[in-house]
Amino acid sequence: MRSIILQTATRYLLPILLLFSIFLLLRGHYYPGGGFVGGLVASIAFVLHSFTNGTDATMKLLGRKPLSLIPIGLGISAFSVILPLFFGLPPMTGLWVQEKFPLIGLIGSSLFFDIGVYLVVIGVVLTILFTISLTDD
Amino acid sequence: MTGNHILASVFIHLFIAIFQLIAWRKTVTQRILSVGGALVGLIIAIVLFQQVYLHGTYTLNAANWAAPFGIVFAADLLSATMVLLTSIAGFAVSIFSSTGISRQRMLYGYFPIFHFLLMGLNGAFLTGDIFNLYVWFEVIIISSFVLMTLGGRKQQLEGAVKYMAMNILASMFFLTGIGILYGITGSLNMADLSTKIQEVENRSLVGITSVFFILGFGIKSAVFPLYFWLPSSYHTPPSAVAATFGGLLTKVGIYAMLRVNSLIFIPDDFTRKLLMTIAVLTILTGAFGALIKTSVRRLFSYLIVCHIGFMVGGIAMFTKVALIGTVFYLIHDIMVKTNMFLIAGLIRQLRGTMSMEKLGGLYREYPKISLLIAIVLFSLVGIPPLSGFWPKIYLFRESFSQHQYVYIAALITGSLATLYVIAKMWAEAFWKETPQGIAVEDQFAPLPVYRKILLVLPIGILGVVSVYIGINAETIIQVADRIANELIDTSSYIKAVLKN
């Protein structure tokens, strides 16, 4: 099914949704949001792209199998969990950079945990949905 | 004492699993990572055990939140022992899996999931928070669902449905119990609960809550009348998976019972009677079930149920001597039960079947392997001086002084039944001539030598550990004695966790 309306809408929605997902990811520490919701919104963007242009086009856009995002995300999260150990603190302690970054605000190890979750969620959702849609072909 | 390193045995398996996910579909890399990582995990566990044995309980406040507000991990001697046993069993199963698991299953991620399971087990043994214990239970269950269904044969799925249904039910009971417990005390930290639960005036509510926990852990450790999922599901997955399940998963239930009963619900008269009745019936049903089975693995599954009863009986008496017996039996049982299922897997490789009617002639063709297996079987039965013998002495002694004659009768029946079925299995599978008219498909003989070693070595390692436990019982009894002391008098644990 090719719909010109959906195609045009997707062209504008894809960057907006991705930006919104990163916005959700970054505000997640103190406000509603975080890696999980952000990951879901980002994967919706790619799902929308695959609806309009086909799964193969989305795969090309991603450049890699979504499955490979899972170990990367897990690795980032797990690393942020054990990072405090190197500073003599118990695992999972939040480590914060003292200076504020422009736009983002304070950066701490919990942000990297959220980034890991974000990648895992995208990986899982896209792997499931692409596996279902590819068997249809 | 604060020790930020005690979770190392959890993280090592997490990172092995992540690296294996990166090496997705590269089975050789995954195998090397698995065996090497499990070896590192074993060394970490030995170091942890040694430190805890020498210096006492270590605690860790996750994210630096002080107890009882944050999640606390505590490595006392019981936890450290369980982590050590898990690591030994995990190492052996990991070696066995590198040849004993089909390539098809490895391609679908057998190894990462196996290490997630070991991570969950180690986490469950180390946590000092009851809700966190539930979360680790979920990690264990989810990994075991995947391991059980991996391969997708019809029979496997049937076993997995029973396994899943019962385990979800167990989790529900457990979670309900935690909910009520939190409602009446306002705490989830086990050490904190231990002091707060004594101030609760509504004792009957506490009693009912303890029943929820007994139900939840009872299903997990497969006690009567909640055991039936175990024999009907453990014979379906590959032997390496069944070895992990049979050796470790039911014992998590026993560990949790020990922990919860020592810290939170000190067994009262009613709980003791309830547990004792359950123990006796579990031993008897397990023993009678094992008597009529002809498939090696189904037989072993019933023996798991039977021997769980021994330990539940020890918990029911809850005296120092009974707990020494229980803890010693736990140590012995994890090693031997893991080994039994590895042996079942080896027998399948040697003969292509696990039905005793079709087996035979193993002793004639493989005398050395048969002798190795015989040692393991002897320690399972409890021939002195092997490992199964010593804990039973303690259990017998204590049940005499407690006048638990029904339990003694059940212990004797259970031990005799074990002896009988193992003797029958030995006669059928090893001594008997190969039955006429049955084509033997020996998958073992054509294997290259290194693969043969990979199949037999883990059985040897676990066998050596069993023999060590038996010959060096003095040391194990010292460890069990200290664990029993810590379980009876929990003040050192509470002090270590709450730091006051």
Cβ separation of A74 and B60 shorter than 8 Å? no
| Closest-CA distance of chain A to residue B302, Å | 38
Best interface-test mutation with B: which of A74, A89, A127, A131 has the largest number of B CBs within 10 A? A74
pLDDT band at B500 (very low <50, low <70, confident <90, very high): low
ipTM value of the model? 0.90
| Closest-CA distance of chain A to residue B205, Å | 36
Question: Cα(first)–Cα(last) distance of chain B, in Å?
Answer: 12
**Cα B412–chain centre separation:** 23
Residue labelled with tokens 């560990």: B255
What per-residue confidence (pLDDT) applies to A28?
Answer: 81
What per-residue confidence (pLDDT) applies to A19?
Answer: 94
State which residues of chain A have pLDDT below 50.
137
**Phi, psi of B156, deg, nearest 5:** -65, -45
The answer to whether B343 touches B240, Cβ cutoff 8 Å, is no
Cβ separation of B11 and A78 shorter than 8 Å? yes
Query: CA separation (Å) from B132 to A60, B27, B71, B126, B290?
Result: 41, 33, 7, 10, 36
Can you state the angle between helices B8-22 and B27-55, rounded to 10 degrees? Answer: 170
B25 contact residues in A (CB cutoff 8 A): none
Cβ separation of B4 and A68 shorter than 8 Å? no
Q: Which of A48-62, B274-288, B433-447 has the lowest mean pLDDT?
A: B433-447
Chain A nearest-CA residue for B17:
A71
- Interval B447-476: pLDDT, tens: 888 888 999 999 999 999 999 999 999 999
**Cα A76–chain centre separation:** 12
In angstroms, the CA B339 to CA B335 distance is 6
> B356: which DSSP letter?
T
Provide mean pLDDT across the span B35-50: 95
Handedness of CA B315, B317, B320, B326 (dihedral sign): negative
Structure tokens at B184: 């009446």
Say if A83 is an interface residue toward chain B (CB within 8 Å): no
The dihedral formed by the CA atoms of B180, B183, B188 and B192, expressed in degrees to the nearest 10: -110
Residue labelled with tokens 């919706």: A44
Cβ separation of A74 and B18 shorter than 8 Å? yes
The answer to whether A57 touches A49, Cβ cutoff 8 Å, is yes
Best interface-test mutation with B: which of A86, A93, A120, A127 has the largest number of B CBs within 10 A? A93
Say if A90 is an interface residue toward chain B (CB within 8 Å): yes
Cβ separation of B22 and A90 shorter than 8 Å? no
pLDDT band at B46 (very low <50, low <70, confident <90, very high): very high
What per-residue confidence (pLDDT) applies to B111?
Answer: 93
B4 contact residues in A (CB cutoff 8 A): 85, 88-91
For residue B117, is pLDDT > 80?
yes
Which SS3 state, helix, strand or coil, does residue B75 take? strand
Please tell me the pTM assigned to this model.
Answer: 0.94
What per-residue confidence (pLDDT) applies to B361?
Answer: 80
Provide mean pLDDT across the span B50-69: 90
> B66: which DSSP letter?
P
Provide mean pLDDT across the span B239-247: 90
**Which one, of A123, A97, A122, lies nearest residue A110 by Cα?**
A97
What per-residue confidence (pLDDT) applies to B119?
Answer: 96
**Which one, of B54, B123, B57, lies nearest residue B86 by Cα?**
B123
Structure tokens at B15: 């990172």
DSSP E strands: which ranges in B49-180? 58-61, 72-75
Chain A nearest-CA residue for B112:
A71
- Interval B379-392: pLDDT, tens: 898 888 888 889 99
Query: CA separation (Å) from B367 to A78, B356, B360, B371, B437?
Result: 48, 18, 13, 6, 23
What per-residue confidence (pLDDT) applies to A135?
Answer: 59
Say if A124 is an interface residue toward chain B (CB within 8 Å): no
Cβ separation of B63 and A90 shorter than 8 Å? yes
What per-residue confidence (pLDDT) applies to B3?
Answer: 83
Which among B4, B61, B63 has the least Cβ separation from residue A85?
B4
Structure tokens at B125: 């043994």
Amino acid letter, A2: R
Domains of chain B, by residue range, sit at 8-498
In angstroms, the CA B357 to CA B349 distance is 16
| Closest-CA distance of chain B to residue A8, Å | 37
Which SS3 state, helix, strand or coil, does residue B180 take? helix
Query: CA separation (Å) from A32 to A38, A80, A107, A124, B6?
Result: 10, 21, 17, 22, 33
Domains of chain A, by residue range, sit at 4-136
Can you state the angle between helices B130-149 and B250-263, rounded to 10 degrees? Answer: 170
pLDDT band at B235 (very low <50, low <70, confident <90, very high): confident
For residue B360, is pLDDT > 90?
no
Mean pLDDT of chain B: 90
- Interval B71-85: pLDDT, tens: 999 999 999 999 999
For residue B221, is pLDDT > 70?
yes
Q: Which of B295-304, B348-357, B398-407 has the lowest mean pLDDT?
A: B348-357
Using an 8 Å CB-CB cutoff, list residues of chain B that contact chain A.
4-5, 7, 11, 14-15, 17-19, 21-22, 24, 60-64
Amino acid letter, A62: L
What per-residue confidence (pLDDT) applies to A1?
Answer: 62
What per-residue confidence (pLDDT) applies to B383?
Answer: 85
**Cα B311–chain centre separation:** 12
What per-residue confidence (pLDDT) applies to B343?
Answer: 92
Percent of chain B topping pLDDT 90: 61
Provide mean pLDDT across the span B253-271: 90
Summarize chain B as % helix, strand, coil (round to 5): 75, 5, 20
What per-residue confidence (pLDDT) applies to B236?
Answer: 84
